[in-house]
Structure 1
């Protein structure tokens, strides 16, 4: 049976074809020479690092906040203490774009993650050109050879990589790369069901490998934060909760818990 992930990846071939047609514009985009490192921030942090996501919609939730201005949202994220910003650039399923990424880059001086279903080098070229400091690679979407190829390509361009896994088999594959940042997606990309137990299950092996762990998806409350932090998360990636928050400042600050007493 075709999963949601299968549908997203199948649609990517159209997106990639379009990007190759637009390749000339990469020569005209003025790229920032400065590179901002999320890894360095996480390594030096005494509190949980918060990656705040700009996310208009998703296949599981539908429209979340389609009209939100990326510049204004990004400025608030930075003002209220986010450590990095994730920008969804997938258009068909998440209503994002590289233009959203560029607007966020103009607005803030934080590390920016280009969050997409990356299966081709051209997507990495566009991510860098439009202002990303790091990209997401999803183990579930890539065979080993392609995963290593894209990881190597991104790092040679000076980008950091957040390598996302969802289960033990994917984690084993991820640990065969040099990726220091491992993302644990609490949402199963095949069923879109969410469980924070995914972070709890995979945390030990990630920490024992010396990597840094980012817990992604399904994080909304202070209790959720305590659960993933006590498991060993160094950072969280939060989208829908922040995009819908009526008191964004309080919500972000609530998540900036000290890591000292929880290790």
Structure 2
């Protein structure tokens, strides 16, 4: 069993006790700010990860978010998985209370209930990971996300997953340079998949960026970057983001 298999198995059990929300308010986010100014910088709020262990010992998610906002991020990604990433839906809600910026619920979404709870806690976007979904479930969950006015950010890591993602007509794709089975990082993953992506699809690259100047190494076709661990560990996250902005 891989770490991803373990996470999904745990998530299936966790969902059974997740309190549902019958009719969350529809998302009214202005998504134009997601890609203006360019590039899109999605700053991630997380306390830990399976690959890195504990990232932030004295984790204050609201304080982290405030530093990201000061740095000029376009949006924030908020981990809501508790067991493996130290996140929660309450953290998402607390960050929603201090900003109007787009918020991505970064979760291992396998059921519509998670989508409703994410929206009720203030999410504007929800991550869908192709590796853990069938094409049918991917379509159903994408539909559920869009029915609430949110956008689906569909994550792929290889050509097979990209083919599945393109079959559901995505607006936003996230290319993960980290293999979710082995958790190894290959920074060429993004570049290798770009040729097969239609021009109208926005592309976000994730995982592996350690320094702001590494953004220059990505092709111009990449519309944005999701940065997590490097930001969480940065001595000055605000300056880190400002430096990222100056690279493109």
- Please classify the TM superposition score into its range, dividing by the shorter chain length: over 0.9
Secondary structure at the aligned position of 1:249 is classed as helix
**Per-residue Cα deviation, 1:119-142 (whole angstroms, up to 9, x for no partner):** 000100110000100100000010
Does residue 1:243 correspond to 2:232, yes or no? yes
**Per-residue Cα deviation, 1:34-87 (whole angstroms, up to 9, x for no partner):** 62244x2345x3521100000100001000014221111111111110000000
Q: Which residue is equivalent to 1:214? A: 204
Secondary structure at the aligned position of 2:226 is classed as strand
Q: Which residue is equivalent to 2:85? A: 94
Give the unaligned 5+ runs of structure 2: none
Instruction: Please tell me whether the aligned partners of residues 36 and 111 of structure 1 are also in contact (alpha carbons under 8 angstroms).
Output: yes
Q: Provide the TM-score with structure 2 as the length reference.
A: 0.94
Q: Which residue is equivalent to 2:193? A: 202
Q: How does 1:2-81 map to 2 (within 5 A)?
A: 2-19=1-18, 22-23=19-20, 26=21, 35-38=28-31, 40-43=32-35, 45-81=36-72
Secondary structure at the aligned position of 1:205 is classed as coil
Report how far residue 257 of structure 1 moved.
3.9
Give the unaligned 5+ runs of structure 1: none
Secondary structure at the aligned position of 1:255 is classed as helix
Report how far residue 95 of structure 1 moved.
1.2
Does residue 1:113 correspond to 2:104, yes or no? yes
Q: Provide the TM-score with structure 1 as the length reference.
A: 0.89
- Aligned structure 1 segments of 4 or more residues deviating by more than 6 angstroms: none
- Cα distance in 2 between the residues matched to 1:145 and 1:157: 19
Taking a change above 3 Å as real, the CA distance of residues 97 and 33 of structure 1, as seen in their structure-2 partners, is: same
- Cα distance in 2 between the residues matched to 1:173 and 1:247: 39
